[in-house]
Structure formats: structure tokens, C-alpha cells
Amino acid sequence: MTSQKTLKDVKMHYCPGCGHRMINKLIAHVIDEMGLREKTIMSSPVGCSVLVYDYLDLDVIECAHGRVPSVLSAIKRCLPDRFVLGYQGDGDLAAIGTNETIHTANRGENITIIFINNAVYGMTGGQMAPTSLPGQVSTTTPKGRGANFEGNPIKMCELLATLDGPTYIERLAMNSAGSLKNIKEALKKAFQCQQDGKGYSFIEILSPCPTGWKNDIKESLNFVDKMQEFLPVGVFKDERKNR
């Protein structure tokens, strides 16, 4: 167990009600509880959470948009006994980096990816994301998603679960104090999966973005509930006992 804390004592830049803030903290707590800090190499993505290294006192590599899985695949192959953790948003993971996501999962790389799905491009000002809901108004879907051949939200957990490579895939929603406990438990499972050498683990978190959704915190929690109509929570794959 490390004595030094992963979470840095600094003010975070995230907007009020943003899910990143709590998820950053949960990651830090789980890393400390599992004693992983000194062996962790984490990625930071392009998007609002690019500055995650300002909050977590870990070795971090900042990746190009969508390329986290490729970068981490190589790091894990070079340093197989380190704990390698990816953190990606929806545009990063399910649009510009879909190819890297699918092939890294298919290779069954022994890494953990945390997918923060808030159904919007937050940092660039609220454009449509690959996971935006049908009818969702964004700065690039003024008539709502679907009115101009935008398709429906991409279901990454379901998509990746069709592959043989992944070991553990779970989707959770962050919409209450109680949900934080579930997310923490899921993170532990995924981290332990990698620590046991059992292969690729993937945790999707439906996460509020009041600023991007142009609503208030209470409404944003309702929106997370609505997201679950299209993106149901649950465990989509669990092969831990078989590997």
C-alpha cells in the first residue's frame, strides 16, 4: 500500500455537476485502496478531461484524439507488470477512435478502459456525439439527432461484447449518490481483472454534463436516466472465471 495519495489537493476545472470530477476522485480512491499508484501508467484523452493529470498524481501520457487504446497497448506490451489505465470520452472512444477501440478490445490487450459517456462534445461547445440520444438537440443537430441522417447512439458495450477478446464489460449510470458506490465496485473489478492478467476490461459510465446539455444539475440527472432507455446499464461480458 502506498502512503502517498493519488488525488492531488487542487481545485478542479470541471463545471458544476460534471461527472468527470467524481469519477476522477473514484479512480484515485480505488488506485490507493488497491495499492496501484506506483505501478500505474494512465492516459489522458482529448476533451474536457485532458487535464486529468492535474488532479491525479500518476505517470500519465496525453494521447492524440482517439488513440488511447493504441498507445496503451504498446505501453502494456513493453511493461506487462504495470497497471495501464485508459480514460476516454465518447467522441474520443466511439467516433474518432472507434477503430483503435475495437481492435484493442479484439486483441484482448490486458488493459482497462474507462469510458465516460456524456452524449455530447463538451469541450468544443456542445456538438453531437456518437452517443447523443435520438432527438437530442446539440449545436450541430439544431433539429435534434436523427432529423438529418445522424443515426442513433452507438452502443459500445454491446458492440464490444460481440468480440471474443474482451474479458469484462460493464455499463453504469452516474445519477445518484448510491450509484457512486456501484461505479467504485465496477472499477475495482476491472482493475483486479487486469491485475490478475485476465485481459481487457471496459467500464462505461453514463455521466452528466449540465453545461453541454444546457440544463441544470437536477435535470441532468434525469437525462442520465433517459440515456438508459437507449444504453441500458448492466454487465455485458464477464469471462473472468474462464481466463
Partner 1 sequence: MKKELMKGSHALVHASIEAGCTFFAGYPITPQNEIPELMSKLMPKSNGTFIQAESEVSSINMIFGAASTGARSMTSSSSPGVSLMQEGISYIAAAELPCVIVNMVRAGPGLGNLRASQADLFQSVKGGGHGDYRLIVLAPSTNQEIYDLTMAAFDYADHHKNPVLILGDGIISQMIEPVELKKYKPILPLPSKDDWALTGCKDRQRHLVKTTRLDPPDLLVKHNLHLKKKYKKISDELTLFKEFETEDAEIIIVAYGITARVAQETVHLARKEGMKVGSIQLITLWPFPNKILKKYRGRDFLVVEMSNGQLIEDVKLALGCKGRILHFGYGGGWYPDTDQILTKLRNMKK
Residues 112 and 194: their CA atoms lie apart, in Å, by 7
The minimum distance between CB 144 and partner 1, in angstroms, equals 32
Q: 111-136 burial, b if ≥16 CB within 10 A, otherwise e?
A: bbbbbbbbbbbbeeebbbbbbbbeeb
- For position 147 contacting partner 1 by CB under 8 A, the verdict is no
- For position 131 contacting partner 1 by CB under 8 A, the verdict is no
- For position 155 contacting partner 1 by CB under 8 A, the verdict is no
- For position 59 contacting partner 1 by CB under 8 A, the verdict is yes
- For position 57 contacting partner 1 by CB under 8 A, the verdict is yes
- For position 53 contacting partner 1 by CB under 8 A, the verdict is yes
Q: How many residues bind partner 1 (CB under 8 A)?
A: 33
- For position 15 contacting partner 1 by CB under 8 A, the verdict is no
Cα(first)–Cα(last) distance of the chain, in Å?
27
E strands, 122-233, are 127-128, 168-173, 201-206
Helices (H), 52-97: 68-78, 90-91
Interacting span for partner 1 (CB under 8 A) from 57-65, 133-141, 159-167, 205-213: 57-65
Q: Do residues 190 and 237 lie in contact, with contact meaning Cβ atoms separated by under 8 Å?
A: no
Residues 142 and 192: their CA atoms lie apart, in Å, by 43
- Give the nearer residue to partner 1 in terms of CB position, either 32 or 57: 57
Interface with partner 1 (CB under 8 A): 37-41, 44, 50, 53, 57-64, 67, 70-75, 77-79, 82-83, 99-100, 102-103, 107
